[in-house]
């Protein structure tokens, strides 16, 4: 939701806070940190892109990294 005080573009990416920089660059920061397993697998909590489509793709890539890391850890009996 954009209440006029936020510079977040619409539509939102669920679970991520969107930011439009003064230079016009789009950023997204995950509202909840990734687990340490996902972090060590390379999942980034903050990403940027030139377009909303690219930003959505990048946030999904980060979520995918996190999911795969969690699935692999579960297979090893790590939680």
pLDDT for 6: 53
pLDDT for 2: 46
The pTM of the full predicted model, rounded to 2 decimals, is: 0.79
Q: How far apart are CA 36 and CA 15, in angstroms?
A: 18
Cα distance between the two ends of the chain:
34
Report the largest interatomic distance among the alpha carbons of the chain, rounded to a whole angstrom. 47
Residue 49 structure tokens: 């892109």
Q: Is 16 left (phi over 0), alpha (psi -120 to 50) or beta?
A: beta
Beta strand 16-20 with 46-49 is: unpaired
| 30-50: pLDDT as tens digits | 999 999 999 999 999 999 999
pLDDT for 18: 96
């Amino acid at each position: 939701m954009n209440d006029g005080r936020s510079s977040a573009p619409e539509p939102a990416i669920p679970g991520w806070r969107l930011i439009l920089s003064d230079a016009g660059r789009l950023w997204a920061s995950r509202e909840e940190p990734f687990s340490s397993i996902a972090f060590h697998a390379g999942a980034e909590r903050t990403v940027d892109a030139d377009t909303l489509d690219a930003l959505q793709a990048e946030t999904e890539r980060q979520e995918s990294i996190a999911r795969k890391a969690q699935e692999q850890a579960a297979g090893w009996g790590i939680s």
